[in-house]
């Protein structure tokens, strides 16, 4: 069992007529940082939601570490959604307690170390945080788990370049070689050098799955530039 | 501080060149211990697997050696380091001539240019 994620012939339609995803098959190994790249509306978030059991595929199957998506797989996947589900009234320490109760693999020590390096006090309420701090706070929660798979939906979209660097460093320094990180984004340039592999999604289909250095070797340009070429409007 | 990388060439090759440069310039002395893959990946802000690939490449060339107990060290073979240094110098020289050709200098004219330049430097102009 080398594959951590096995997506087999997955299709998804919200209205029964138009497919958001069509016959997507993808295997992700352990120990990689993978970029899920595609323009708006290409199906990135839909695929991620199905990997987390928030949506059901219309056809096909998804297995994570050998289990179909469900209670067992959720215990092994740390998921950063594209929007928050946390109540703004909660303080940092309440949220940390909540996560400790909820996830067996949550590490208080990791969270404490990251929060102190970010100067986020435990007494602060979520609603009093800036947008960027909120995003960092949520990344801290996700990266404090010792999961097999981290799925980050647009982790760097709303933050300034310095905060982006911090987020990327956090991902790099907390990632362990046994786990895989899947990052969806359209801000490729900022994230390219931390990725092993990239998946290009276009109109609900995978058009490319290769390594970053392969793209650079074959095309003599960055993944960012190649993306702009492939998806030129 | 993240390392500056060109966007048109494979990342691991640029990491190889960067570490080679640090070795031939004496920043990492012969026989000294190198940081771990993780440490260096974090410093450079690159993927650890890419850094590992760069290390593997450097090991294949013999410039760095993995010791079971001591991590990775820089070779103590000064000849090898000198060879790599010469290769890098050749690359830079090629690059210089290529750029001069782009603006219409022949090899001979480029060489004369360098000589004139260094004479002037010596006279302190």
DSSP string, chain A: --EEEEEEEEEEESSSSSEEEEEEEEEEETT-EEEEE--TTSSHHHHHHHHTTSS--SEEEEEETTEETTHHHHHHEEEE-SS--S-TT-BHHHHHHHHHHH-TTB-HHHHHHHHHHTT--TT-BGGGS-HHHHHHHHHHHHHTB--SEEEEESTTTTS-HHHHHHHHHHHHHH--TTSEEEEEES-HHHHGGG-SEEEEEETTEEEEEEEHHHHHHHHSS-HHHHHHHHT--
* Statement: residue B125 has pLDDT above 70: no
**Confidence label for B4 from pLDDT (cuts 50, 70 and 90):** confident
Q: What is the ipTM of this complex?
A: 0.78
Number of domains, chain A: 1
**Confidence label for B120 from pLDDT (cuts 50, 70 and 90):** confident
Residue B1 forms contact with A (CB below 8 Å) = no
Q: What is the CATH number of the domain that holds A145?
A: 3.40.50.300
Residue B40 forms contact with A (CB below 8 Å) = no
Q: Which of A33, A165, A216 sits opposite B10 (nearest CB)?
A: A216
Which residues in chain A touch residue B49, judged by CB atoms under 8 angstroms apart?
31-33, 196
Residue A168 forms contact with B (CB below 8 Å) = yes
Query: What was the pLDDT predicted at B95?
Result: 95
Domain containing A109 equals: 3-230
Mean pLDDT computed over every residue of chain A: 90
* Statement: residue B70 has pLDDT above 80: no
Query: What was the pLDDT predicted at A84?
Result: 81
With CA atoms as reference, the chain A residue closest to B10 would be A213
Test the A interface: residue of B4, B15, B47 with most A CBs within 10 Å: B47
Architecture of domain B11-76: Orthogonal Bundle (1.10)
Q: Which of B2, B12, B48 sits opposite A213 (nearest CB)?
A: B12
Residue B52 forms contact with A (CB below 8 Å) = no
Residue B11 forms contact with A (CB below 8 Å) = yes
Q: Which of A168, A172, A213 sits opposite B11 (nearest CB)?
A: A213
Q: Is the CB of A169 less than 8 angstroms away from the CB of B42?
A: yes
Query: What was the pLDDT predicted at B112?
Result: 94
Query: What was the pLDDT predicted at A175?
Result: 76
What's the pLDDT tens digit per position in A193-217? 999 999 999 999 999 999 999 999 9
In chain A, which stretches have pLDDT less than 50? none
């Amino acid at each position: 069992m080398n594959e951590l994620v096995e997506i087999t012939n997955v299709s998804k339609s919200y209205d029964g007529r138009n497919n958001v995803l069509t016959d997507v098959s993808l295997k992700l190994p352990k120990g990689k940082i993978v970029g899920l790249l595609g323009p708006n509306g290409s199906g990135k978030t839909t695929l991620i939601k199905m990997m987390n059991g928030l949506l059901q595929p219309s056809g096909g199957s998804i297995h994570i570490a050998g289990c179909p998506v469900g209670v067992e797989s959720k215990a092994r996947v740390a998921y950063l959604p594209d929007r928050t589900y946390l109540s703004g009234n909660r303080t940092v320490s309440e949220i940390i307690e909540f996560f400790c109760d909820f996830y067996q693999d949550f590490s208080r020590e990791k969270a404490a170390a990251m929060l102190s390096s970010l100067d986020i006090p435990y007494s602060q309420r979520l609603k009093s945080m800036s947008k960027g701090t909120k995003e960092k706070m949520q990344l801290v929660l996700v990266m404090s788990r010792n999961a097999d798979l981290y799925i980050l939906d647009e982790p760097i979209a709303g933050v300034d370049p310095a905060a982006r660097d911090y987020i990327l460093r956090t991902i790099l320094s907390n990632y362990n070689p046994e786990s895989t990180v899947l990052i969806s984004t359209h801000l490729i340039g900022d994230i390219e050098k931390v990725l092993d592999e990239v998946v290009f999604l276009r109109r609900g289909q995978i058009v490319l799955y290769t390594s970053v250095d392969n793209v650079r070797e074959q095309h003599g340009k960055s993944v960012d530039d190649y993306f702009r070429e492939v998806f030129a409007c | 501080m993240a390392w500056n990388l060109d966007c048109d060439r494979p990342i691991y090759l640029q990491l190889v060149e960067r570490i080679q440069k640090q070795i031939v310039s004496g920043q990492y002395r012969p026989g000294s211990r190198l940081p771990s893959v993780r440490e260096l990946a974090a410093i450079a802000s690159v993927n650890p697997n890419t850094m590992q690939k760069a290390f593997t490449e450097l090991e294949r060339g013999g410039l760095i050696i993995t010791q079971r107990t001591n991590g990775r060290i820089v070779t103590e073979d000064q000849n090898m380091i000198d060879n790599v240094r010469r290769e890098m110098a050749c690359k830079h020289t090629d690059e210089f001539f290529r750029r001069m050709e782009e603006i219409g200098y022949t090899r001979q004219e480029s060489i004369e240019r360098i000589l004139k330049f260094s004479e002037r430097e010596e006279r302190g102009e």
